[in-house]
Amino acid sequence: MSMNRTVVNIIIDLIATVLFLGMLATGYLLRFPLPPGSNKSRVLWGLSRHEWGDVHFWISVGLMVVLVVHLALHWNWVVTVIGKRCGLVKSPHPSLIRSAIWVVGVFAAMCIGFGWLAERDVMQVERPRRGYQAGRQTIEQRQPPLSKATETPTGHLLWDDVYPIFQQHCVACHGPDKQWAEFRADQRQDFFKSAAPLILPGQSSKSPLMAIISGTRDDMPMAESHRLADADAAVIKAWIEQGAQ
């Protein structure tokens, strides 16, 4: 019987060690390879930062369960040795069940209290959208023209004519620092990826980019923040119709 209990303790300790290493590993992933703000731009082994966060959470839950089992297996020693030495137990023959109920009750109260405080004190931070303000202002009022090209979309337009629009409105989330959806607006070739091109030269009506910047595509995250002023969209449309050179 003693041997069986020893084997159980060893198994529990091994499981706790593996879970603890899992906590360290996933914590490292969330801090370095997948830092905050990289959820839409990076994946690791098929999982995004939020999904690795779920793995981290469930590993922590599993570790807590294993520690509770470990504590239960050593409860007699905890009560009779630690409890008496700390002066928490006065009786020479303490009730293990009663002390366990007290410990569980205190632990549950702490968990419930922590959850209540977190739910009570959580606050939603208003994050300003680039080029957008609150209210019912028109897109044209919120986003003034950038250059002569935006004022009059005539003549033969080139990449240098439309890039300032992308630079002002898109590069912050799709550029050197961040590459949400693995897309960079500062690199012309990214608009023409063979798998899913955003631009079909000479066919602005069939180019997905026009649906995105004109606000007609609402089935994507932050669809409204991708909408550009009519003047800017007209420049990009003209550039695409002319061959997107």
pLDDT tens per residue, range 17-50 = 999 999 999 999 988 888 877 776 788 888 888 8
**One domain for residues 183 and 117:** no
Residue 129 lies in a domain: no
Query: What's the Rg (C-alpha) of the chain?
Result: 30
Phi-psi sector, 229: left (phi>0), alpha (psi -120 to 50), beta: beta
Predicted local confidence at residue 149, as pLDDT: 43
**One domain for residues 62 and 117:** yes
Residue 7 lies in a domain: yes
Non-local (6+) Cβ contacts of 35 within 8 A are 49
Residue 105 lies in a domain: yes
| Averaged pLDDT, 186-204 | 82
The answer on pLDDT for 127 being more than 50 is: no
**One domain for residues 6 and 117:** yes
Structural domain that includes position 217: 139-241
Q: Identify the top-confidence range among 14-28, 144-158, 159-173, 180-194.
A: 14-28
Predicted local confidence at residue 147, as pLDDT: 44
**One domain for residues 16 and 114:** yes
**One domain for residues 104 and 160:** no
Task: Please identify which residue in the block is written with the tokens 């977190």.
Answer: 118
**One domain for residues 14 and 80:** yes
The answer on pLDDT for 115 being more than 80 is: yes
Q: How does pLDDT run across 205-232, given as a tens digit for each residue?
A: 888 888 888 877 767 777 777 888 888 8
Residue 130 lies in a domain: no
The answer on pLDDT for 9 being more than 70 is: yes
Residue 184 lies in a domain: yes
70 or 21: whose pLDDT is higher? 21
- Write down which residue in 93, 121, 149 finishes a domain: 121
Q: What separation in angstroms does the CA of 163 have from each of 166, 184, 215, 220?
A: 5, 12, 20, 23
pTM assigned to the model: 0.48
| Averaged pLDDT, 54-75 | 89
Task: Please identify which residue in the block is written with the tokens 């002569």.
Answer: 148
Predicted local confidence at residue 91, as pLDDT: 65
Predicted local confidence at residue 1, as pLDDT: 46
Residue 116 lies in a domain: yes
Q: How many domains does the chain have?
A: 2
- Write down which residue in 67, 86, 121 finishes a domain: 121
Confidence of residue 161 (pLDDT cuts 50, 70, 90): confident
**One domain for residues 98 and 203:** no
**One domain for residues 106 and 9:** yes
What are the tokens at 230?
């009519």
**One domain for residues 11 and 76:** yes
What are the tokens at 44?
């690791």
CA dihedral 176, 181, 185, 186 (to 10 degrees): 20
**One domain for residues 89 and 187:** no
Mean pLDDT (the chain) is 78
Q: What separation in angstroms does the CA of 118 have from each of 18, 50, 105, 112?
A: 29, 20, 20, 10
- Write down which residue in 69, 89, 121 finishes a domain: 121
Residue 132 lies in a domain: no
